Amino acid sequence: MYYLGIDLGGTNIAAGIVDEEMKLVYKTSIPTEAKTGVENVIARMADAAKAAMEGFGITIQEIKSIGVGTPGAVEPGTGVVIYAANLGFKHTPLGKLLGEYFPGTPVRVENDANVAAWAEAKCGAAVGTANSVTVTLGTGVGGGMIINGQLYSGFNGMGAELGHMVIHENGRPCGCGRKGCWEAYASVSGLIATTKEHMEVNPESLMWKIAGSLEKVNGLTSFDAMRKGDEEAKKVVDKYLDSVACGVTDLCNMLQPEILCIGGGISKEGDTLLKPVQEYVMKEMFARFNDTHTEIKIAKLGNDAGIIGAALLGA
């Protein structure tokens, strides 16, 4: 038997088949065409699922369950997406509507960041633990937490918004309306903002040469310039890593997860990111004098975490 996972994004719908050893054995993706409306998006999700089964050469009879990771908040246990602006979902019974294409097969729906955390806990960097946190450093800062073996998303499905805890009171404005959120500093957008701030007051910095112009600054500009010996770039990276580590320390103090893993684009920096964060956390975290404390790791499943975690919602 197999599990089918759908990673629903604003641009693409990825669908994949996961076997009973929790290995992703097949994946495919089609454009979401979000503008064509909710009904069509759900029909396309069904198409992507069928394409994955066909591509791998199995039928729905061999699928134990279907899981979906979607942007937005999901009402716990009901498969209803309360709100997902870019897909037009508003109290949309996504699980039920998708299930109509596959009568008799259970469909489960969860928030996409939670699903990625579920994947890391089931078969990724946090495998074998009952308490773990996955932080995703991307355009925003997303995350999910597993508590006592269960995904935790609060009583209303809006929990685990790790990016929106404040690390600088009255700091940078955040998309959520608050100021000084972790996301405003630790996301790629946050890193780009810090990079630009430093470039503007340092016209000599190598970052100018690497980026070409302020508009072209990206998440790699400061890291690349630092590797070439630029001191201003090192200040940017240090500031950035401190921000990441500050939030990670808060999460460790709050939850004492056995493993906290960091994923998303910036996690590709590997040890350049991990070592300084580990050092900071070991200096500051409450449990530092304890025999046991959180282990900080890089997430393992990369972009596939979404499909795998969705598939394994039913495992």
The residues that touch Zn ion, with contacts defined as CB under 5 A, are 164, 174, 176, 178, 181
Report the residue number, 53 or 174, with the smaller CB distance to Zn ion: 174
Report the residue number, 16 or 72, with the smaller CB distance to Zn ion: 72
Report the residue number, 102 or 185, with the smaller CB distance to Zn ion: 185
CA distance readout (Å), 257 to 115, 135, 146, 197: 17, 12, 8, 34
The CA-CA-CA angle for residues 287, 293, 299, to 5°, reads 130
The secondary element (H helix, E strand) that includes residue 97 is helix 94-99
Report the residue number, 73 or 98, with the smaller CB distance to Zn ion: 73
Other C-beta atoms lying within 10 Å of the C-beta of residue 114:
26
Cβ 177 to Zn ion, closest distance in Å? Answer: 7
Task: Annotate 267-292 with DSSP letters as a single string.
Answer: GGGTHHHHHHHHHHHHHH-GGGGSSS
Cβ 192 to Zn ion, closest distance in Å? Answer: 17
Torsion from C-alpha of 181, 182, 184, 185, nearest 10 degrees: 140
Report the residue number, 74 or 181, with the smaller CB distance to Zn ion: 181
Distance, in Å, from the CA atom of 55 to the CA atom of 276, rounded to the nearest integer, reads: 43
Report the residue number, 134 or 187, with the smaller CB distance to Zn ion: 187
Local structure of residue 12 (DSSP, 8 states): E
Helix axes 271-284, 231-255, angle to 10 degrees: 50
Cβ 183 to Zn ion, closest distance in Å? Answer: 5
Distance, in Å, from the CA atom of 152 to the CA atom of 82, rounded to the nearest integer, reads: 17
Cβ 143 to Zn ion, closest distance in Å? Answer: 13
Cβ 168 to Zn ion, closest distance in Å? Answer: 12
Cβ 246 to Zn ion, closest distance in Å? Answer: 15
Cβ 164 to Zn ion, closest distance in Å? Answer: 4
> How many residues would you count in the chain?
315
Other C-beta atoms lying within 10 Å of the C-beta of residue 100:
10
CA distance readout (Å), 264 to 110, 163, 284, 287: 19, 13, 24, 26
Distance, in Å, from the CA atom of 233 to the CA atom of 253, rounded to the nearest integer, reads: 30
Cβ 58 to Zn ion, closest distance in Å? Answer: 42
- The sign of the torsion formed by the CA atoms of 16, 17, 21, 22 equals positive
Report the residue number, 107 or 184, with the smaller CB distance to Zn ion: 184
Cβ 284 to Zn ion, closest distance in Å? Answer: 22
Report the residue number, 14 or 191, with the smaller CB distance to Zn ion: 191
Report the residue number, 157 or 163, with the smaller CB distance to Zn ion: 163
